[in-house]
Amino acid sequence: MAIDYLDIKNQLSTMLGASGVADLPPVDQTRIGIYVNQAYRECYLPIDGKRPQWSIRSMTMTFASGVGAQSLGEDVIDVDKIPELVGVGPLSPMVGPEDELRQRAHFSHDFKAPGLKGLGFPNFHMDDPETGQPMWYYIDTADNGSDTKVEPRLCLYPIPNKEYTVKLRANVMPTELSADTDEPRLPGDVVWDILFPIAQEKLLADPRYNGGNKDFILKAAQAARQRLSTLSNAQKSKGSLRLTKRGGW
């Protein structure tokens, strides 16, 4: 049976002496929802930084000619792997817009001997971005001046001179649970075995909680986080092979 947002809130509400979240005052209901969503986000972005596979999304983006940046979406944190320019190969990372400016100025009159004319030396300027096949990428989260939300953008350089397709894997945050029928996007028994113990720990800071089992709840949340860290890699490494010297030639 699928587990929804209401199921988790009802179970968590028993820590405040209620039989369900509906029995609590509106302000307490809101706090219960906050604790559940905090725990849900931690299942995607663990404290130890080891992201599980379910927090990664495969994406394909098309860049039209003359378009050097596109939004990745509000729920994207960063890029998990190096993006691939379809039909060409992997892109090289840039630190940010500063690197792009340095690339524009890198070949400006370099090694141009005086008196040589008509030899076609490159002459690039910082104010004139190059166009051509993209080779570099960076993620920009700076405010454009009218942004109301943080929306990461994938930026390519040089700016595409024709249509290109980019494949990438992005680290994402989950959509906040809001409706009672919303179901957490988590595999197996992660909701009760990991999300719920962490949500219980979050509730310990609630001024209405006065239970005497805080140590047990803290240990359960610690065990849940340890289990979460073991799920960070779907394909477990079996270690390196030991090579042994054999007699012979």
The residue that leads in pLDDT, 168 or 114, is 168
Mean pLDDT over all residues of the chain?
Answer: 85
SS3 (DSSP) at 26: helix
- Could you identify the residue written with the tokens 């663990």? 46
Residue range 81-104: mean pLDDT, rounded: 80
Given this model, what pLDDT does residue 95 score? 74
Q: How far apart are CA 200 and CA 136, in angstroms?
A: 45
Given this model, what pLDDT does residue 141 score? 86
19 is written with which tokens? Answer: 């039989």
Q: In what order do the strands lie in the sheet with 153-157?
A: 69-71, 153-157, 136-140, 92-93
Given this model, what pLDDT does residue 238 score? 46
pTM: 0.79
Looking at residue 38, its amino acid is Q
Given this model, what pLDDT does residue 49 score? 85
Q: Where are the domains of the chain?
A: 5-45+175-204+216-230, 53-111+121-172
Given this model, what pLDDT does residue 223 score? 97
Residue 174: pLDDT over 80? yes
* 146-163 pLDDT tens trace: 777 888 999 999 999 999
* 187-238 pLDDT tens trace: 989 999 999 999 999 999 998 899 889 999 999 999 999 999 998 765 544 4
Report long-range pairs for 54-57 (Cβ below 8 Å, ≥24 apart). Answer: 54/185, 54/186, 54/187, 55/171, 55/172, 55/173, 55/174, 56/80, 56/169, 56/170, 56/171, 56/172, 57/169, 57/170, 57/172
Residue 186: pLDDT over 60? yes
The residue that leads in pLDDT, 99 or 56, is 56
% of the chain beyond a pLDDT of 70: 80
